[in-house]
Amino acid sequence: MAFWKRLRLTLEMIKFEHSVFALPFALTGALLAFRESHFDARGFGYKLLWIAIAMVGARSAAMAFNRILDADIDARNPRTRLRHIPAGILSIQFAWGFVIFSVLVFLLAARALNPLCFKLAPVALAVVFFYSFTKRFTSFSHLILGFSLGIAPAAAWIAVRGSLDPRILWLTAAVMFWTAGFDIIYSCQDFEFDSREGLFSLPKRFGMSGALWIARLFHITMIVCLVLLSVSFGLGALSWAGIGAIVLLLLYEHRLVKADDLSRVDAAFFTVNGYVSVLFFLFWAADMYFFGLRA
């Protein structure tokens, strides 16, 4: 099999296009740091480029690692048995090579940003790799996945400012609860399989109806965190409009999925959450432009 074909299949396996989920939140963290630096544009475009590369590198490494670690489990699950590694479409050796390459890209990007980013890079990798083990021993793996994505905005802040401001942790918390909420919805599909295999998830622990209520609670907590974030940075009306748009999208997401009807999980998981992250970024970037840069 040609190298480029295997690379294309690997990107397909890790759902490379879903980098859109967390990248806009990371870029929002960078823009908030840019605002706090009084819109000093020197080197900002360069930093945005390396932030995007670091984000994609870390996510790609984590997703490929997850597919390798879960290959045996995926092979036993009717929903996932046709994934690339259990189906024999891609070799584990090639997937490991992709993980190593992605890690090197991430480390290169972290080094290009600033010394603190480079020092913290192994910690970030440890967090995102650790998630892949968690469904083997804790029902709260959804929150650990959320934290893995949630550290991106804080990391982007550090990349721009060279230090951490505690206020940006409201965005970390918002992304964590948002991700955990939609991951619970997605994991409802594996309720019977997880129960049979002895794996851990909130749907298995509380039943699908109970887990969906927890997902709603997590998404309410996300909105609270975004409100506190907007207040702490003194943002304007467009940031509030962005929060309002997210509320409407999340309400729609939860209407799509019921404990006895999971037929629209893909629409809830992929489509709605893509709009959540992109619209959030657009509204908040516009707010910082109209109420900050042009003030």
CATH number at residue 178: 1.10.357.140
Q: What does the pLDDT read at residue 295?
A: 45
Confidence (pTM):
0.95
- Which one has a higher pLDDT value, 271 or 116? 116
| pLDDT (tens digit per residue) in 2-16 | 888 888 878 788 887
- Interatomic CA distance for residues 75 and 214, integer angstroms: 29
Tokens 């740091």 map to which residue? 33
What is the arithmetic mean of pLDDT over 263-273? 85
Confidence of residue 18 (pLDDT cuts 50, 70, 90): confident
Count: domains in the chain:
1
- Which one has a higher pLDDT value, 42 or 246? 246
Q: What does the pLDDT read at residue 293?
A: 57
For the chain, the average pLDDT equals: 93
| pLDDT (tens digit per residue) in 226-258 | 999 999 999 999 999 999 999 999 999 999 999
| pLDDT (tens digit per residue) in 73-87 | 999 999 999 999 999
Classify residue 76 by its DSSP letter: H
Integer CA distances (angstroms), 258 to 3, 95, 209, in order: 43, 36, 8
Q: What does the pLDDT read at residue 1?
A: 53
Half-sphere exposure of 108 (CA within 13 A, CB side): 11
- Interatomic CA distance for residues 292 and 270, integer angstroms: 32
Q: Can you give the residue range of the structural domain that contains 14?
A: 3-293
Geometric angle at alpha carbon 16, from 144 and 18, rounded to 5°: 60
